[in-house]
């Protein structure tokens, strides 16, 4: 089977492409910068250049493939709506139009549990009403809504919603959190640290994609891909700190004070042009809400079975960063 993987140069794309090649798929990469494929270029029988913000570059990118896994996205929490809308919504719409023209048999769209957003009653399921708190999640939600309309017209799409993902090669949310714990920058917990968060190891997320690709019944469906375990922020930071062999952030401070302090750091970072995911008032706000999502549907219908808990996945991840002097 010939599979087009968009965003193959990214964190998840890298791991997914390696797995699909191992499984014997004929892979075509769709990336905007071929150089970023670096050491995985040989996994692909062909590399197509596409910028999802430029409609003309999307034309015919899905020619002559059986399936598409669309990972490419502007994946940023603190960013402009214009970039999210153009890349995540319009880029996907143009790709779907091209895939429909070329009669692609399966189109897997990478959404996110951020399309659901924080939840009152955990765990959320695929049926939980969506209430995204970030523009990023909103861009995923409007794209899902567009795709669901196309599915009604017979377009063969599957929507995958991974939770926050961590693992080797990530340089964003989980890496910056691990780094902040390691260097003592995350030294206090805003509020009580008693709300729940869930992260899924990248190999488990990849397993979810492969199961969805290989199961005919996944067409027309939406699946949350998450780990079995979840933790309070305090517990999750303790797990990470114990692997790093540093003191975990345990001291709690009032939310208003944390918002004030982080607000100043956020302001200074903005002036300096520094993007530090952890030092944002929105992260203080997030830590007062729950983000836990059920993988029951994926287990039942796809045979998905996550193999990593946070400790096991973090051990591999931290080892990978250490071997590269990234911590």
Q: Is 19 in the site for ligand NAP (CB under 6 A)?
A: no
Q: Which of 4, 5, 11, 310 binds ligand NAP (CB under 6 A)?
A: 11
**Rounded to an integer, what distance in angstroms lies between the CA atom of residue 3 and that of residue 35?**
20
Would you say 132 or 258 has its CB closer to ligand NAP?
A: 132
Dist CA 250 CA 235 (whole Å): 9
Which of 4, 40, 43, 52 lies at the binding interface for ligand NAP (CB under 6 A)? 52
What is the distance between the alpha carbons of residues 312 and 325, in angstroms, rounded to a whole number? 20
110 binds ligand NAP (CB under 6 A): yes
Q: Which is nearer to ligand NAP, 123 or 258 (CB)?
A: 123
Tell me which stretch binds ligand NAP (CB under 6 A): 71-79, 142-150, 232-240, 244-252.
71-79
Rounded least distance, CB 245 to ligand NAP, Å: 25
Position of tokens 């999802």? 52
112 binds ligand NAP (CB under 6 A): yes
264: helix, coil or strand? helix
CA distance 6 to 25: 15
**Range 29-35, long-range pairs (CB < 8 A, 24+ positions):** 29/4, 29/5, 30/4, 30/5, 30/6, 30/61, 30/72, 31/6, 31/7, 31/72, 32/72, 33/9
**Is residue 74 within the footprint of ligand NAP (CB under 6 A)?**
yes
Q: How far is the CB of 225 from ligand NAP (least distance, A)?
A: 9
Window 169-188: residues binding ligand NAP (CB under 6 A): 173
Cα Rg of the chain, angstroms: 19
Size of the site for ligand NAP (CB under 6 A): 26
Instruction: Report the C-alpha gap between 269 and 190 in whole angstroms.
Output: 20
The CB-of-84 to ligand NAP minimum distance in angstroms stands at: 10
Chain residues that interact with ligand NAP, rule: CB under 6 A: 7, 9-13, 31-33, 36, 50-53, 71-75, 87, 110, 112, 162, 164-165, 173
């Amino acid at each position: 089977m010939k599979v087009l993987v968009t965003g193959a140069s990214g964190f998840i794309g890298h791991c997914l492409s390696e797995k699909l090649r191992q499984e014997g798929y004929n892979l075509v990469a769709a990336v905007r910068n071929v150089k970023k494929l670096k050491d995985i270029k040989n996994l692909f029988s062909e590399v197509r250049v596409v910028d999802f913000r430029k409609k003309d570059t999307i034309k015919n990118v899905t020619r002559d493939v059986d399936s598409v896994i669309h990972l490419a996205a502007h994946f940023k929490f603190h960013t402009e709506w214009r970039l999210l809308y153009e890349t995540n919504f319009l880029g996907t719409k143009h790709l779907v139009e091209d895939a429909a023209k070329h009669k692609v048999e399966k189109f897997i769209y990478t959404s996110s549990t951020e399309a659901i957003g924080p939840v009152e009653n955990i765990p959320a399921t695929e049926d939980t009403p969506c209430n995204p708190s970030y523009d990023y999640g909103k861009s995923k939600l409007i794209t899902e809504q567009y795709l669901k309309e196309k599915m009604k017209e017979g377009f063969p799409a599957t929507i995958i919603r991974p939770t926050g993902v961590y693992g080797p090669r990530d340089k964003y949310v989980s890496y910056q959190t691990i780094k902040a714990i390691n260097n003592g920058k995350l030294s206090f917990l805003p509020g009580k640290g008693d709300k729940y968060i869930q992260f899924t190891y990248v190999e488990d997320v990849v397993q979810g994609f492969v199961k969805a690709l290989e199961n005919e019944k996944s067409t027309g469906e939406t699946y949350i891909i998450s780990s079995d375990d979840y933790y309070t922020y305090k517990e999750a930071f303790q797990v990470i700190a114990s692997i790093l062999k540093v003191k975990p952030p345990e001291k709690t401070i009032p939310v208003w004070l944390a918002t004030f302090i982080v607000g100043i750091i956020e302001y200074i970072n903005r002036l300096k042009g520094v993007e530090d995911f952890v030092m944002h008032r929105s992260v203080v706000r997030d830590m007062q809400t729950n983000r836990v999502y059920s993988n029951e549907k994926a287990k039942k219908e796809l045979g998905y079975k996550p193999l990593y808990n946070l400790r096991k996945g973090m051990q591999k991840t931290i080892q990978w960063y250490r071997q590269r002097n990234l911590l």
